[in-house]
Amino acid sequence: MNIVFTGHVDHGKSTVIGRLLHDTGSIPLGKLEAIKERCRKNSKTFEYAFLLDALKDEQSQGITIDTARCFFKSNERDYILIDAPGHIDFLKNMVSGAARADAAILVIDAHEGIQENSKRHGYLLSMLGIKQMVVCVNKMDLAKHSKKTFDEIKSEYATFLEKIGVKPKAFIPISAKNGENIAKKSKLMKWYKGGTLLQEMDRLHASKELGKRPFRMPVQDIYKFTGSGDDRRLIAGRVEEGTISVGDDVTFYPSSKTSKIRSIEMFNLPARESIGAGYSTSFTLTKEVYVRPGEVMCKTREKSSVLTGHAFTANLFWLGKEPLTLNKEYKLKLGTSKAYAKIRSIKRVLDASSLKSSDSKLQVDRHEVAECVIETVTPIAFDLISSCEATGRFVLVDEYEIAGGGIITGAMKNGRKELDEKVLLRDMKWVRSALPAKTRLGKYSHKPQLILITGKKNGNKPKIAKILEVLLAKKGYPAYYIGIRSVIYGVDSDIRSAERYRDEHLRRFSEVLNILLDAGLTVVATASDLHEDDIENIRKIIEGRKMTLVVAGEDYFVERSSAVNITDLNDPAKAAEKIFRRLSA
């Protein structure tokens, strides 16, 4: 069970953890003495918090153990304690999924009382979907073990938690320093009738085992086997939830492509029949499909598949120096997917500590929490936080820095126009030319067609295209060569950043091709790195017109093979002739 520890700085969080580890006998033999000895030598007072630091130093030398975690066993079960250093780091870890927690322990100093961060943390925990909370009122020794002090803090904090819809499982008066009510019942606070911290932790409910939930694997990468004649691909990623076996039908979202698991491959390990949550692995499929990193692989037969779309409602916590504003573009990271996103609307903004709320704010300032609607430029696959943690939370990046994060609370019907709708509208509004293409082009009798040359960058594509253009013209085709660059610097001069507007560049390029085709031309076009779904989109835009796909260099297409594959890139003339022969075949 994963438990996150939070609290205002110096309220004793590290001491509580150190003490828990010590009192449950989880400290390696001799460690405590060694630290005590070191303190004596340096004339420093021993602190239980040092135990934690010492263990962390040790752990950080191992490769697999995250420095923010430590482990211990009670009689009931295994625990992973997640130390949340500051609330900013804590939030970053929580929203990015680095720290996944089933429950939280919040530490409040009895002497100092409830601080801003005590509230902020409480709110964040509830906002992040962590509903189980235990509150430790620490340093009771400094409050003379007074029931009155404890009751006051308890009542004030419980009222606060109630407002945000959290009912804590327990309030425990403790003294971490002296080990009161940590693993042993305190004799100095007999008025307290509840359990010790350890007992209350053992009473928390563990969430359903990850392996038993619906299957989710965000695709991290796609690798190709390099062996000659082996054209299989490996779909790699980390299984976040669920279990899958060879032979299971799978669907990838948001593309909705389907296939079946052929094999499960582990690096340097024998292949296995099934695999479950927590493993990074790769799969081969019986039918090759073209999917991109960022898609989520689900089991086709499981009813609760991920949601897909362009918009969702979210609880978002903002950390950015600049306020979060409507209509500004941010980069959204969710699972392994990345998409450009905007805030479509802000429903409510709350100050995370005072909890003052506003329904009319149009921006979210630093350390504020907002309920908002987020819209992405490209469709993404996601889950509600209540269904799956890994695909139910996201971070927003502003100028290369994580500036906020949150959890998804609902799916929205998409308000954006899909490509299909755009094409439909265009066709409805299209004003036909008075001349049929045939008449306009006079003696030319060739039907309009597109020869689309793609492939990796630097494949001599423009050279090949231009030789082909000349060849076609000589044979009486109304040939016209156009490279995507001519569109990017002209039609697209209002959108320059190539990566950000890739889809829009392609859409506009395709619309230009469509106009040229409508004019009756034989269009030779070049664009690098087009993928299967790009080709599908181009096809949609140019509708039923003839298209010949040429790939210069490695033919990376999976679901459709290119009509012509140019393997020798150093001889553009020969390549152009090969294409021409294919056209006239």
Among 14, 196, 313, 514, interactor with ligand GDP by CB under 6 A: 14
Q: Which of 289, 286, 319 is nearest to 94 (CA)?
A: 319
500 close to 468: Cβ distance less than 8 angstroms: no
Per CB under 6 A, 537 contacts ligand GDP: no
Q: Of the listed pieces 8-16, 207-215, 264-272, 288-296, which binds ligand GDP according to CB under 6 A?
A: 8-16
The residue among 49 and 134 lying less far from ligand GDP, judged by its C-beta, is 49
The residue among 47 and 248 lying less far from ligand GDP, judged by its C-beta, is 47
Per CB under 6 A, 9 contacts ligand GDP: yes
Per CB under 6 A, 573 contacts ligand GDP: no
The residue among 174 and 307 lying less far from ligand GDP, judged by its C-beta, is 174
Per CB under 6 A, 47 contacts ligand GDP: yes
Report in angstroms how near the CB of residue 161 gets to ligand GDP at its nearest.
20
The residue among 93 and 337 lying less far from ligand GDP, judged by its C-beta, is 93
User: Cα–Cα distance between 548 and 563 in angstroms, integer?
Assistant: 6
Report in angstroms how near the CB of residue 360 gets to ligand GDP at its nearest.
37
198 close to 182: Cβ distance less than 8 angstroms: yes
The residue among 93 and 138 lying less far from ligand GDP, judged by its C-beta, is 138
Per CB under 6 A, 555 contacts ligand GDP: no
Per CB under 6 A, 138 contacts ligand GDP: yes
Please give the DSSP secondary-structure letter assigned to residue 183: S
Phi and psi at residue 437, to the nearest 5°:
-50, -40
Among 142, 234, 411, 519, interactor with ligand GDP by CB under 6 A: 142
Per CB under 6 A, 13 contacts ligand GDP: yes
Report in angstroms how near the CB of residue 162 gets to ligand GDP at its nearest.
25
What separation in angstroms does the CA of 432 have from each of 185, 347, 437, 518? Answer: 87, 45, 11, 9
Give the residue ranges of DSSP H helices in 75-146. 87-96, 116-127
Report in angstroms how near the CB of residue 257 gets to ligand GDP at its nearest.
49
User: Cα–Cα distance between 259 and 345 in angstroms, integer?
Assistant: 38
**Which residues make beta-bridge pairs with 334?**
337
Give the Cα-Cα-Cα angle 159, 164, 166 (nearest 5 degrees).
Answer: 80
Phi and psi at residue 461, to the nearest 5°:
-60, -50
The residue among 142 and 234 lying less far from ligand GDP, judged by its C-beta, is 142
Among 92, 100, 139, 169, interactor with ligand GDP by CB under 6 A: 139
Q: Which of 323, 325, 318 is nearest to 345 (CA)?
A: 325
Q: Of the listed pieces 13-21, 393-401, 488-496, 526-534, which binds ligand GDP according to CB under 6 A?
A: 13-21
Residue type, 421: E
How many residues lie near ligand GDP (CB under 6 A)? 17
563 close to 548: Cβ distance less than 8 angstroms: yes
The residue among 18 and 478 lying less far from ligand GDP, judged by its C-beta, is 18
Q: Please state whether the peptide bond connecting residue 478 to the residue before it is cis, i.e. omega within 30 degrees of 0.
A: no
Q: Of the listed pieces 12-20, 304-312, 410-418, 555-563, which binds ligand GDP according to CB under 6 A?
A: 12-20
Q: Of the listed pieces 136-144, 147-155, 441-449, 564-572, which binds ligand GDP according to CB under 6 A?
A: 136-144
Q: Which of 543, 539, 536, 581 is nearest to 563 (CA)?
A: 581
Per CB under 6 A, 98 contacts ligand GDP: no
Q: Which of 531, 525, 430, 411 is nearest to 468 (CA)?
A: 525
Phi and psi at residue 547, to the nearest 5°:
-135, 130
Per CB under 6 A, 53 contacts ligand GDP: no
3-state secondary structure of 113: coil
Interactions with ligand GDP, residue window 383-442 (CB under 6 A): none
First to last CA, the chain: 66
What separation in angstroms does the CA of 353 have from each of 337, 369, 370, 555? Answer: 32, 10, 13, 57
The residue among 138 and 284 lying less far from ligand GDP, judged by its C-beta, is 138
- Tokens representing 33? 């003495």
- Cβ–Cβ contacts within 10 Å for residue 162, how many? 11
Report in angstroms how near the CB of residue 533 gets to ligand GDP at its nearest.
50
The residue among 7 and 254 lying less far from ligand GDP, judged by its C-beta, is 7
H or E element that contains 82: strand 78-83
Interactions with ligand GDP, residue window 148-207 (CB under 6 A): 175-177
Among 3, 32, 49, 364, interactor with ligand GDP by CB under 6 A: 49
The residue among 11 and 507 lying less far from ligand GDP, judged by its C-beta, is 11
Per CB under 6 A, 22 contacts ligand GDP: no
Report the greatest alpha carbon distance in the chain: 105
Per CB under 6 A, 51 contacts ligand GDP: no
Per CB under 6 A, 508 contacts ligand GDP: no
The residue among 141 and 375 lying less far from ligand GDP, judged by its C-beta, is 141
CA 554 to chain centre: 30
CA 369 to chain centre: 20
Contacts to ligand GDP by CB under 6 A: 7, 9-15, 47, 49, 138-139, 141-142, 175-177
